[in-house]
């Protein structure tokens, strides 16, 4: 078998080790270019990397969303 017909090895083709860190979940967010530029500018304004800024913002938004009381159809708060 020559190199063209041989099955590829799993992982990085160049033999590089994965940069994943134990305990972190790798996640990607797809957005259009204009939205990405806005996020990048907001991160720069805050003096943070885009990843750090997005993680902090999402964590804060999730905390706020989870603290909101849910209401039923009759307007009374539920758990």
Give per-residue pLDDT as tens, 8-67.
Answer: 555 555 555 556 566 666 778 899 999 999 999 999 999 999 989 999 999 999 999 999
Tokens 């993680």 belong to which residue?
Answer: 55
Residue 56 lies in a domain: yes
In a domain, 43, yes or no: yes
CA contacts within 13 A on the Cβ side of 15: 0
Is residue 26 situated within a structural domain? no
pTM for the complete prediction? 0.55
In a domain, 60, yes or no: yes
Q: Which domain holds residue 58?
A: 33-66
Which has more confidence, 6 or 43?
Answer: 43
Tokens of 22: 């134990």
In the chain, the number of structural domains is 1
Q: Judge whether 55 lies within some domain.
A: yes
1: in domain:
no
Residue 45: what are its φ and ψ, rounded to 5°? -60, -35
């Amino acid at each position: 078998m020559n190199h063209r017909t041989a099955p590829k090895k799993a992982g990085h083709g160049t033999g590089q080790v994965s940069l994943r860190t134990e305990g972190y979940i790798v996640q990607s967010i797809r957005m259009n270019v204009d939205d990405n530029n806005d996020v990048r500018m907001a991160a720069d304004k805050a003096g943070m990397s885009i990843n750090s800024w997005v993680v902090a913002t999402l964590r804060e938004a999730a905390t706020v969303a989870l603290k909101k009381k849910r209401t039923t159809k009759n307007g009374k708060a539920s758990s």
